[in-house]
Amino acid sequence: MSDRKVVINKKQIHEKVAALAAQISADYSGKDLILTGVLNGAFIFLADLTRAITIPHQIDFIRVASYGNSDSSSGTITLTKDIELDCKGKHVLLVEDIIDTGATLDWLTNKFNDQDAASVRICALINKKERRISEIPIDYIGFSLERGFLIGYGLDYAQQHRHLPEIYTLQP
Ligand code: IMP
Ligand code: MG
C-alpha cells in the first residue's frame, strides 16, 4: 500500500465541525431543517456535525453513483438511494465530504429544487477546486484544497480508508 501523510488532523477537524455547526444552528433557527448526507463519504462528517448542531433538525441520506472504484469521475450521475422524508417546504442542507467537479451537488441541488424544497444549500467538508466544472454556490465550506486525492474521515479510495480518524493524502 502507498504511504499516507496527514493533511488535516483531528483537532483541525473538530474545531471546523464546531464552527460550521454553530453557523448552521444560527442560520436555520426556527426553520424545518433536513440534514441530508450524501452516502457513503459524508457519514462520519454528518455524524459529528449533527451532534454539534444545537437546533432541532431531521436527518436523512441520499446516495448517488458517479465514481465507481476510480479516482476520476465517470461523468454520469445515477440516483441509487433517495431520501425517505418529504422535503417539500423544508430546508434541505446537503452534507458532502468533498466537492470535486461539482457535478454531483449540481445534480442534487436541481433535484431538491424540483421537489419544492423551501431552500437547498450545501455544506462540504472539503472544497477541491482544480477540476470544478459546475460553478455551484457552496454555502458552508470546511477546508479548501487546490488539488490532490484525500482519504480518511469518510473519504475513500476504492472503498478503503474511510475509517481513518484524520484526513490524509496518498503518497505514491
Ligand atoms: P464531484 O461530482 O466530482 O464533485 O464528485 C464528488 C465526489 O467524488 C465526492 O463525494 C467523493 O465521493 C469523490 N471524490 C472526489 N475527490 C475525492 C478525493 O480526493 N477523495 C475521495 N473521494 C473523492
Ligand atoms: Mg461522496
DSSP tally for the chain: helices H, then strands E: 3, 9
Q: Which among 67, 78, 80, 159 is the best mutation to test ligand 1's pocket, defined by most ligand atoms within 8 Å of the CB?
A: 67
What values do phi and psi take at 143, rounded to 5?
-135, 150
Q: DSSP of 16-39, one letter per residue?
A: HHHHHHHHHHHHTTTS-EEEEEEE
Candidate of 69, 98, 150 to mutate for ligand 1, largest count of ligand atoms within 8 Å of Cβ: 98
Reported confidence tier of residue 68, pLDDT bands at 50, 70, 90: very low
Question: Given this model, what pLDDT does residue 34 score?
Answer: 98
Lowest mean pLDDT among 46-55, 61-70, 130-139: 61-70
pLDDT tens digits along 18-56: 999 999 999 999 999 999 999 999 999 999 999 999 999
